[in-house]
Structure 1
C-alpha cells in the first residue's frame, strides 16, 4: 500500500474522508481537522481513479515522507534522504512549498533548501543533475510545513486543483468552488430520489455537482490535464448512470440563468431555472425535499441592511417549502443564525475556511 494525502477546505475533512472510503478509493488514516488534510492509504495504481472519482478534494499528493522538522537543516536532511528515482532524467521539477505557523524562515527558504536536497539526492542516485522549471515543471514536489509537521510528496494533480472542473464554460463573477459545492450536497444527504433546490443558484454549480454525483459523472470527462499523466498513460473508464433528476434553481439575474443554461447543454444536466428572488421561492415552488445554497455575503452585497432583508425573506420562504433538510454556506453567521432560529428547530454549524474567509456551513431541519 502507498501513502497519500488529499487537501480540502479546512473544516470539511470529515466529508472528504467519508467520500474516500465510501467510494473504495482507500483507507483513511488521519483527518487533520481544520487543516484541510486527509491522510490515507491506497494502491499506487488507484491514482487515476482517485482523480476521476473524488469530488470533494482539491489535490492528491503521493506521500514520500512525513516527519518532524523545526529548522531548515531538518528539512534539507529529510528531503535529501528520499528516493526520487521515479522522476526520469529528462523531466524537470519544481518545489511548491507552503508554511503555516511560527518559524524564523519563509516558504521561499523551504523551496530553496528542499530543491537543493532533491538535486543532491538525485545526483547521488542517478549521477545526473535534474532540471528545474518553476513555471511548467513535469513533476511538482510539495513541501508543506504545518507548525513542525513536514510532509513531502509528489503532486499527482498539478498546479490547478481538482476544483478546476473545466465544465463551467460560463464564468459567474462570484463562483462557488465546485469541491465545496459537492461537499455541501453530500452533507445534505440528498440523492436522486428526491428534489433539490438552490434558491441563489448563480450559474448552477451546486445543481450541476449534484447531478454529476447522481449520474456518477467522472471529473475526467471534462478535464484531462492531470500531473499524474506523466506516470499513467490512460484515464479510467467510469460508467455513468441515467437517472431522473428534479433539480431547481432560482436566480435573480437573467444573464446568469442564460450562462447556466449553456453549461446545462454542455454537460447534459438540465435543472429547471427560474428567474426570481430567493425570498419568494414559495411562490415558484410549492415544496422541495432539499435545499443546498450559497447566499450572498456582505462583502458581495455591501450593505448589512440588504443582507438582513435577503436572509430574513429567504429563510422565511424556505420554511414554507422545505420538507427534509437544508445546507447553507455563508460568512454572515450572526445574521443567518438570527433568522434561522425563527423558522427552524435544528441548526448545526460547521466552521469552514473558504480561501481567506471563515464561513459557517449550516445543516438545517424543520
Structure 2
C-alpha cells in the first residue's frame, strides 16, 4: 500500500526514521513541507497510528498528480474507485496551499461531487454525506500545482492531540514536536531528563510514554472503515526512568500532574515548583519550551529570562540542552555568552510561527 503522512514542517527526517523503524519503506521526504511518502503493508495503518510519536496524520494515498484547474481535480477524483464507501457515509476534508483562483471550499465541493458521481455511475447508488461525523474521511489537498487524494486513517483529531491531555496550558507544546526534540537530543530511558519550564508536562510525559512504549490509546478513523488486527508485538515496558518537571506556577504544575495521571505515568515523573533560572541538580538532558511571543511581550524580559536560564542550565547539564523558541536569536546570543556550544539547529514551523530547535552541549 502507498501512504502519505503529515507532520510539523522541519522535522521530516526525524519522522522518516521513525516510519522506517515501524516498518515503512520511505520513498520520498518533502523537506520543509511537512510530508512523507512511504509504502508498506496494511498492518502499518494500525502500527503507525498507535505507535508514531512524530506524525500528525496518516493517509492511504489514492491519487497524486499535477493539475491546472478545478476541472482537472474533478476528473482525477471521478476516475478513482470508491467501492470501500459502500454502505458508509463520507466527507471531504480539503486543504489548499499556494496561489490559486479558487479556495479550499471549492476543492471540497468539486471533489465531493466527483466522489458522488463516480459511485453513482459504478453502483447506481447515491452516497450519504455526513460532514460532522462521517464513517470515512477523504482528504483532497492542493499544494502548489500538485493534487493529493487520500483516505484519512487517523481522523479529524490529528495524532498530536494526545489522548492523555486533560489540562491545557495556554501555550502547551505540540506533543509530536516534543518527541522529535527528545529524539534530536539523543535521549533514551537510561538518561535523566528535566524540563525546567514544564507547563502542562508535555515533554516529561511524552518521554515516559516513549520509554515505556505505551501506544496511543484512542479510536481512529480506520476503525470505521476496515478491521485491522492490532499489532501488540511492541510490549509496554516497566523500565524505571529519572524524569523531572519543574514549573513556576502552581496552577500549571497541578495541571501537569493531572495529565501525568491521565497518561498513567505519574509514578515515573517527579514534578515540583521551581524557577528555571534557579535550576539545581545534575541531569543528562535538559529539554524545554521556554516562553516566547505572546507568552512574554517584552523583548527585555525574554532576554533576561534566557540569560539566567542559560547560566543555570550550563551548571546542571551533563550532556545536552535542547529547546524550541521563536526568539532563537536572543537565546543563541545568551548561550554563546555563557559558553554553551551549539551543535545542531533547525527551523520548525509551529503554530503559525517560524521557530527553531536548538541543541547545545558543554563547550
TM-score range, shorter chain: over 0.9
1:329 aligns with 2:324: yes
1:164 maps to 2:161: yes
2:43/2:231 contact within 8 Å kept = no
TM-superposition CA deviations, 1:62-114 (whole Å, max 9, x none): 000111112111111111111111112x3111111111111111111111111
Instruction: Tell me which residue corresponds to 1:95.
Output: 92
Aligned equivalent of 2:105, options 105, 108, 112: 108
Q: Deviations over 1:172-194 (max 9, x none)?
A: 22211111111111111100111
SS at match of 1:171: coil
Aligned residue number for residue 80 of structure 1: 78
CA contact (8 A) 1:48 1:232 kept: no
1:163, CA displacement in angstroms?
1.1
Unaligned ranges ≥5, structure 1: none
Structure 2 counterpart of 1:45: 43
Query: Do structure 1's residue 23 and structure 2's residue 22 form an aligned pair?
Result: yes
SS of 1:219's equivalent in the other structure is coil
Distance 2:25 2:159 in 1: 20
Is it true that 1:260 corresponds to 2:259 in the alignment? Answer: no
* CA positional deviation for 1:258: 1.6
The whole-number CA distance in structure 2 between the counterparts of 1:297 and 1:232 is 45
CA contact (8 A) 1:58 1:163 kept: yes
Pick which of 155-164 and 173-182 moved more: 173-182
Q: How do residues 305-320 of structure 1 correspond to structure 2 at under 5 angstroms?
A: 305-320=300-315
Residue 349 of structure 1 is matched in structure 2 by 345
Give the match for residue 131 of structure 1.
128
Within the candidate set 268, 289, 293, 1:294 is matched to 289
Shift of 1:135: 1.4
Q: Partners in 1 of 2:122 and 2:185 — Cα distance?
A: 51
8 Å contact from structure 2 (residues 324, 356) kept in 1: yes
Out of 219, 222, 226, the position equivalent to 2:220 is: 226
Residues 46 and 228, structure 2, Cα contact 8 Å, conserved in 1: no
SS of 1:345 mapped into structure 2: strand
Helix, strand or coil at the partner of 1:122: helix
> 1:347: how far off?
4.1
Normalized against structure 1, the TM-score is what? 0.95
Q: TM (normalized to structure 2)?
A: 0.95
**Alpha-carbon offset, residue 233 of structure 1:** 6.1
Deviates more, 1:152-161 or 1:176-185: 176-185
| Contact 1:52–1:236 (CA under 8 A) maintained in structure 2 | no
Structure 2 residue runs without a partner (length 5+): none
Q: 1:236: how far off?
A: 3.6
CA contact (8 A) 1:202 1:260 kept: yes
CA distance in 1, matches of 2:351, 2:72: 29
Measured after TM superposition, the shift of residue 345 of structure 1 is 2.0
Equivalent runs, 1:231-250 vs 2, <5 Å? 231-232=226-227, 235-237=230-232, 238-250=234-246
**Contact 1:56/1:179, CA 8 A, preserved across alignment:** yes
Q: Secondary structure at the match of 1:108?
A: helix
* Contact 2:43–2:228 (Cα < 8 Å) also in 1: no
Residues 21 and 27, structure 1, Cα contact 8 Å, conserved in 2: yes
Flag the 1:153–1:338 CA change in 2: closer, same or farther, 3 A.
Answer: same
Equivalent position to 1:361, from 322, 334, 357: 357
The partner residue of 1:120 within 112, 117, 121 is: 117
Q: Provide the C-alpha distance between the structure 2 equivalents of 1:251 and 1:295, rounded to a whole number of angstroms.
A: 11
Change (3 A) 1:337 1:347: farther
SS of 1:163's equivalent in the other structure is coil
Q: Report the 3-state secondary structure (helix = DSSP H, G, I; strand = E; otherwise coil) of the residue aligned with 1:250.
A: strand
Post-superposition offset of 1:263: 2.4
Measure how far apart 1:234 and its partner are.
Answer: 5.2
**Equivalent residue for 2:274, pick from 272, 276, 282:** 276
Question: Does the CA-based 8 Å contact 1:340-1:347 persist in structure 2?
Answer: no
8 Å CA contact 2:81, 2:118 repeated in 1: yes
